[in-house]
Every structure is written in C-alpha cells, then in structure tokens.
Amino acid sequence: MESAAKPEKIGSPRIQAWFMSLCAIAFSVPGALAQESYPSKPIRMVFPYAAGGEADAFARAIADEVRERLGQPMIVESRPGANTAIAAEIVARAPNDGYTLLYLAWSTITTNLIMYKNIPYKLEDFQPITTFYRAPLGIAVRKDFPASNLRELIEYARKRGSVEYGTSGAGSSGNLMLARLSRKTGVKFEHVPYKGDAPVVQDVMGGHLPMFAGALNTAAQHIRAGNLKALATSSGERLKAYPDIPTFRDSGFEEQVFTYWHGMAAPAGTPRAIVDRLNSAVVAATESKRVRGVMTPFQTVSTMSPEAFSELIRSDIAIWGPVIREMNMIQ
C-alpha cells in the first residue's frame, strides 16, 4: 500500500518558488490591465497658454491625431497664467491615471524651477512622455536698423551704451538668450517685458522698440515680407526655409546654439504601460499630415523616449541655472 505524500514545509524551496511566481503575476496584472483598458474615457490635456495662436493650433492637431489612435477624445483645456505655472500645478496635483496630461513648455519644467522661489510644483511631480518638436530662438530688428548681423549689433550696442529689446516676459527664453549674450560680451541689453511675442513684433515694426528676442515663429511672415530683419538664429545650422538668416555660430558664439522644445508630461507615478501607450500615440501623431500642416518652418519634429526626455530636461536645467543665478534673475 502506497503511503500518502507528506505535505511540503512552508519554507521549502519549491513553496518559495511558487510564492514568488504568484507575486510576480499579481504585480504584473495592474500594468497589463491598464494597458489593455486605457483609455476608457476622454483625456484632458492642460494647455498653459491662451486659446488661439500657433501653439494652440499645434496642441489641437496633436489632440485630434491622438484621439484617432487611442479611440477616445483628447480635450485641450486652456489654463494660461503665471508663466505656465497654473497649468503645471493642475497636472502635478492630478491623479496619475493618464487622464490628465500637460502640454509641457520648455520653461515650465526647466528655468521656472530655478527662477521662481515659490513655484508650486517640482521636477519630481511629473513623468515626461515625449517632446513634440524643437525650434531655435532668434533676434529680429526693424528693417532700417543700423546693424545687419550679430557682430554689428554688439558693436552698435557697445558704442551706444545699451540697446532695448522686447520679449514675451521676464524669464522667457528670449530674455535668457540675451542675458547670456550680455554675460559673454559685456554689452548691455535693456529688457522690456511684454505679455506675449505678438505685441513685441508689432512694436518693433512700428518703430517703438528696436529689437525682438525669442521664438521667430511670430515674426516669420514679417521677416519673409522684408518688414523685419533677422540678425541671428540659435539653430546649429542655417534654416532651410530661411538660409539668409545667420546663426550665432556663424558669428563665433558657439555657446549660444540652442533649441527649445514643447512636449507632453503626465503626473508622476503614472503606470509605465500608460506612459508607453501615450508615447507611441504622440510619436505617430507628429508624423501625420495634420500636425505637419500646422508647424512653422522654424519647428522641427523631435520625439524621444521618456528616459531621453527626462535626461534632456535635467541637462537644460544644468545649462541655464548658472545664467539665471549669475544674472540675478531669481524672483
């Protein structure tokens, strides 16, 4: 007569292996379920600027393309103000379930964190998903301005004592670009902050202000029409659409080569399966005719993995932090 098998002890290798296998299955289920069921309702993308304009058109094109790929609406919710901090705080405090996302501007999660002492969010509050595009900054002046390139501008400013320039606001990318150039050359550029690029461009064309610094998208049509003169762009190479615009590198200012980016982020702790699904959908969206159709000649599609995006953000913080501190721009 066969004897009954003895029950294995709890601590036996076989029982331990079974238990670990069960744990692995249990922990993998939520991520698998999230990937299969997400999204099951509309997604909100919080937009840090006012409705209308080029960035808004781009955000809505991305949202439409993502909807076609994920099967749920992506709603663009405009929440402008506080140099993009209002929108960022909303997303930083939102549930990390993938249904509230941030249209992430370059300054929101790089220079804002250094410049503002009481910023209501921190780097660790966000999970980067991908960049959308990159674009250079530039300097443009009225058509009769007595300088036609960067070297001539610096010499003119040195003889005159200073030159005024306008940007979309204190701490904007244009403001930082000229602050860095001032630090490099010892020439004074006097900052005049506005509430957006468009009114700066209008005042430069109207002769009320000599110079604009920032993203050249707003000034593009006026540059092409000959009403504005672009002195320099921060792109590494000359732009195909504007080959006559010299780069900072052409004038010997290699350290001024820089492109800003826009992208997408989710609240920290968003499941990796959801992050990967969003990354795939957005990357595909940027290749669509709809999205390409709303981009300007200054913008270049640039997408990347969440890890590469995180590294890019940290690199930009390391580059611009010293400029902000040395120029006493902390508020």
Give the domain CATH number at 101: 3.40.190.150
What are the phi and psi torsion angles at 315 (to 5°)? Answer: -65, -45
For residues 64 and 86, state if they share a domain: yes
For residues 192 and 250, state if they share a domain: yes
Instruction: Output the domain CATH number for residue 155.
Output: 3.40.190.10
Rg of the chain taking only CA atoms, in angstroms: 25
pLDDT digits (tens, 9 = 90+) for 105-151: 999 999 999 999 899 999 999 999 999 999 999 999 999 999 999 99
Give CA torsion, residues 274, 280, 281, 284, to 10 deg: 170
Nearest-5° angle of CA 18, CA 23, CA 28?
130
Please identify, among 229, 256, 283, the residue that sits at the C-terminal boundary of a domain: 256
For residues 250 and 141, state if they share a domain: yes
For residues 318 and 219, state if they share a domain: no
Please say whether the beta carbons of 290 and 153 come within 8 A: no
What distance in Å separates the CA atoms of residue 296 and residue 242, rounded to the nearest whole number? 12
For residues 49 and 124, state if they share a domain: yes
Parallel, antiparallel or unpaired: strands 189-193 and 228-233: unpaired
pLDDT at residue 281, as a whole number: 98
For residues 289 and 232, state if they share a domain: no
Domain range for 210: 136-256
51, part of any domain: yes
Please identify, among 198, 229, 256, the residue that sits at the C-terminal boundary of a domain: 256
267, part of any domain: yes
Please say whether the beta carbons of 216 and 204 come within 8 A: no
- How many residues are recorded in the chain? 331
Please list the ranges in the chain whose pLDDT falls under 70. 1-36
pLDDT above 90 as % of the chain: 64
277, part of any domain: yes
166, part of any domain: yes
5, part of any domain: no
